[in-house]
Structure 1
Amino acid sequence: MARGLNTLQMRLTALLGVAGLSGALIFVAITQWPLPQVLQWLRKDLALAVPASAPWGVYGGLLASVLLLLPLSFWLAYQVMSPLSRLLRALEGAVASYRDGDFSFSIAADRRDELGELIRMHNALGHTLREQRQHLAQRELLLDTVVQNTPVALVLTDAGDRVAYANIAARHLFNEGRSLHGLDFSSVLKNAPEALRRAASSGEDALLSVEMDGGEETFHLSQRSFRLQGRPHRLQLFRRMTRELSRQEVATWKRVIRVISHELNNSLAPISSLAHSGAELARRGDTERLPGVFATIGERARHLHGFIAGYASFAKLPTPQPVAIQWTSFLQGLALHCHFRVQGTVPEQPGWFDAAQVEQVLINLIKNAHESGSPEDGVTLALAVIGHDLRIEVADRGPGMSEIVLAQALLPFYSTKRSGTGLGLALAREIAEAHGGRIALANREDGGMRVSLLLPLGPGGG
């Protein structure tokens, strides 16, 4: 680029030098030689009536030089500016094409100065823009193909609730396969089930069941608002969940049946064997061993009863009866059932929950913390007020959980213990959500697990 710049400067310098030298030569020719000599020769040899010398002086010579130099200057200026003017017009056309989205414009010129370098850079830019435009078009086509053929009904509406985009599933769901573009979506929803209309108008995510085509369909609705090209838009996704929920329901029932079958076999097989042994002892008249047989049968029956009662308590969880909880008495009562260390200070503000249910949750969590292999003094309980919520945190120094176990630990009937029912954490989640709160599990950075129980403070969430 520097070499090209020097070349153009040298050309301009040479042209200016030619203009200056031409002006000097014209002035000399008019005032010194050869014009005065020609006039003298015409007067003497040809006897023409011409003056003996030029009729003008120095100033006249300068004026005549300027008059003769002007056409030459215009011609030289044209030679300098002509390629620049052509290039500027070409660039103007290219910018207009780029503004209209046409990147096929290129400039055909073969120059070896900085103008040629500029032209080559412009053509390379056009080539890059064309490639990017082509790749963008291919990605848009791929995205449109994926969105159009997804089973999730997708509707994009503008600020006036007009449909800006709708895929095939949305057209079949709301308009019998016809286009939705430009229609008022609230008017389209008038023909939809009432539950679907209410969920769509709420502006929030929802899981709902509606009567459609003679059967019940379950939908998951996701709604997001954002700005597209500087204007507000709303994206709504209607996903049919009936088949997926049915598969999950069948899988859950299979897990339940496996767990129940396992526990029943573990209890009924010994009971059957002991009953047979007791009958044989009674037939022989050996009554001394019968009390032990009956005691074992009773112990297995009690275990089976406790197992069934645990499932029944999960299925028939009573509605929480929250009251104001004083921490001193609550923690003292909890300490009678399990060992833990209170970490940090106890909030002055009382809690607001069903003491019996939350106590059962904490007993299970603290028991799990001890069974994780954590040192006894590593199991802690911490209380904190976070905004309008109360956070009860049970932590340990065990090995923690893998990502797979963390993702499924709160599901009913999921357990990594050989004798576990998979109901402890699921029941804790059920109780937390019944209070309007939630439960969260996380591994601690310095080792161990942290289970956080978030409950609202006061009636109605504080």
Structure 2
Amino acid sequence: MRLSLVTRFSALVGTLLTVGIGIALTLDHFLPGQPLLAAGLCLAGVIPIAIITVRSQVQPILSLFRALEGTVTSYRDGDFSFSLHWPQDDELADLIRAHNELGHVLREQRRDLVQRELLLDTMVQNTPVAMLLVADAPQRARTIVYANLAARQLLADGRKLEGHALRDLLAQASPALGEALERGGDGLFTAGEGEDEQVYHLARSHFSLNGRRHELLLLRHLTAELRRQEVQTWKKVIRVISHELNNSLAPLTSLAHSGAELVRRGQTERLPQILETIGERTRHLESFILGYARFAKLPTPRLQPCAWARFVERLASQVRFRVVGDLPAEPALVDPAQLEQALLNLLKNAHESGSPPDAVELQVRRLQDLLRIEVFDRGSGMSEAVLTNALVPFYSTKRSGTGLGLALSREIAEAHGGRILLSNRDGGGLAVTLILPAS
């Protein structure tokens, strides 16, 4: 049966009052005419009984409060292993039950947190990426807060790095690492020379930890991966070139044999046609090789002011298109020859897409610090698979295509610090966007 604290203490007070009244009536009966003596004897008997009774009821509650204080202190110290028990079925039992449930939740959370920390530490320690956590401070006082196994192996032959100054570590490491850190930002750098040359990628980020600024340095060894990619690229290049050479040389061999046979028979009337076909295939092969050479030998852009009116006029003399909107009044700081080559590739692709010639458009806009150059057509557009691979070198959907036009345009855009985007247009066709820095 559940008895609340109010009911229990009300019953206690009522019992004490009943006992006091009973004692008072009894004394009044035995001591008639002496009310003060009866009252004094009554108080002398009731007060000790009341004190003992109340103390017996309050003492367990006080002990419970002390236990609660102790468990709260333990919780503050991170120890959630305690639980309490209260034998009565009252409000204090509800409090203890809630307290024990809180402890259970905190224990579960602590256990899950420890498991996640163990998992994270295992992953961080076993990742091949070298990780250094450095406390942000003046350059000479920057200390290493954390280093995983890969960082220890790479920079200190497996020794612990925590607590060491970053400048002392850099003094013993490759000078290329120090130069990469001084440059700031992310990027690749090369350490070693000749056969010992190694390529690394440095990534860095800043964040606050315990109220202090920290920097996380990530060093990834890319030599083996880059070499594998290089081999795959060379295989692809050789495969594409071999395919194109075979497509050109096999007909040439056949035509040369046919011409020699006709000469031997004295039937020379077909020789002009055979020689014209040989010349056409030779010119195609020459164009193919020159396309690869231009892609492989793209120089660093030589930036100079370029007036848009004259640039677009020169472009229009080589390929047909329509200008949409007004050209920017401010000249662009670009390499005119390279930008012209990129836009010629895009405009020729637009004409080859099946678009009506009048629907090939060029739009140039300046948006704050960016140049947005767009080429539009109303051709067949691109499927999702083609959009994904269109900018990859050597990828082409044309039977006689080299797959270098869009790749060369992307190379030129990225060399200028920009990028290229492809998207299908509503109503059909393709939009190719070059985004370049305005200055």
TM-score (norm 2): 0.89
| Structure 2: stretches of 5+ with no match in the other structure | none
Q: Tell me, yes or no, if the aligned pair for 1:162 and 1:183 is still in contact at 8 Å.
A: yes
Q: 2:26: which partner in 1?
A: 34
Q: Deviations over 1:36-84 (max 9, x none)?
A: 33135xxxxxxxxxxxx20539xx94x7666655444434543553343
Change (3 A) 1:124 1:324: same
Inter-partner Cα distance in structure 1 for 2:437 and 2:135 = 37
Equivalenced residues, count: 433
Q: 2:153: which partner in 1?
A: 172
Inter-partner Cα distance in structure 1 for 2:59 and 2:425 = 72
Query: Residue type of the partner of 2:89?
Result: R
Q: 2:276: which partner in 1?
A: 295
Q: Deviations over 1:253-305 (max 9, x none)?
A: 11110111111111111111111111111111111111000000000000001
Out of 78-87 and 228-237, give the one that drifted further. 78-87
Residues 232-271 of structure 1 correspond to what in structure 2 (within 5 A)? Answer: 232-271=213-252
- The answer to whether 1:439 aligns with 2:419 is yes
Structure 1 residue 378, shift from structure 2 partner: 5.8
- The answer to whether 1:413 aligns with 2:390 is no
Q: Tell me, yes or no, if the aligned pair for 2:376 and 2:430 is still in contact at 8 Å.
A: yes
Structure 1 residue 423, shift from structure 2 partner: 1.2
Change (3 A) 1:204 1:244: same
Structure 1 residue 357, shift from structure 2 partner: 1.9
Change (3 A) 1:11 1:365: farther
CA RMSD of aligned residues (A): 2.8
| Structure 1: stretches of 5+ with no match in the other structure | 41-52
Q: Tell me, yes or no, if the aligned pair for 1:438 and 1:453 is still in contact at 8 Å.
A: yes
Out of 94-103 and 210-219, give the one that drifted further. 210-219
Query: Residue type of the partner of 1:173?
Result: L
- The answer to whether 1:103 aligns with 2:80 is yes
Inter-partner Cα distance in structure 1 for 2:313 and 2:285 = 32
SS at match of 2:89: coil
Structure 1 residue 396, shift from structure 2 partner: 4.7
Q: Tell me, yes or no, if the aligned pair for 1:428 and 1:439 is still in contact at 8 Å.
A: no
Q: 2:262: which partner in 1?
A: 281
State the structure with more CA Rg: 1
Inter-partner Cα distance in structure 1 for 2:16 and 2:85 = 31
Q: Tell me, yes or no, if the aligned pair for 2:144 and 2:164 is still in contact at 8 Å.
A: yes
- The answer to whether 1:135 aligns with 2:112 is yes
Change (3 A) 1:129 1:289: same
- The answer to whether 1:350 aligns with 2:342 is no
Structure 1 residue 171, shift from structure 2 partner: 0.8
Residues 126-205 of structure 1 correspond to what in structure 2 (within 5 A)? Answer: 126-160=103-137, 161-205=142-186
Query: Residue type of the partner of 1:14?
Result: A
Inter-partner Cα distance in structure 2 for 1:340 and 1:86 = 92
2:434 pairs, out of 450, 453, 460, with 453
Change (3 A) 1:371 1:214: closer
Inter-partner Cα distance in structure 1 for 2:377 and 2:15 = 93
Inter-partner Cα distance in structure 2 for 1:11 and 1:378 = 93
Structure 1 residue 443, shift from structure 2 partner: 3.3
Q: Tell me, yes or no, if the aligned pair for 2:421 and 2:433 is still in contact at 8 Å.
A: yes
Change (3 A) 1:76 1:261: same
Q: Tell me, yes or no, if the aligned pair for 2:80 and 2:106 is still in contact at 8 Å.
A: yes
Q: Tell me, yes or no, if the aligned pair for 1:439 and 1:451 is still in contact at 8 Å.
A: no
Inter-partner Cα distance in structure 2 for 1:101 and 1:212 = 53
Inter-partner Cα distance in structure 2 for 1:445 and 1:11 = 81
Inter-partner Cα distance in structure 2 for 1:411 and 1:152 = 28
Structure 1 residue 8, shift from structure 2 partner: 2.7
Inter-partner Cα distance in structure 1 for 2:17 and 2:283 = 120
Inter-partner Cα distance in structure 2 for 1:344 and 1:76 = 97
2:211 pairs, out of 225, 230, 234, with 230
Q: 2:11: which partner in 1?
A: 14
Identity, in percent, stands at 52
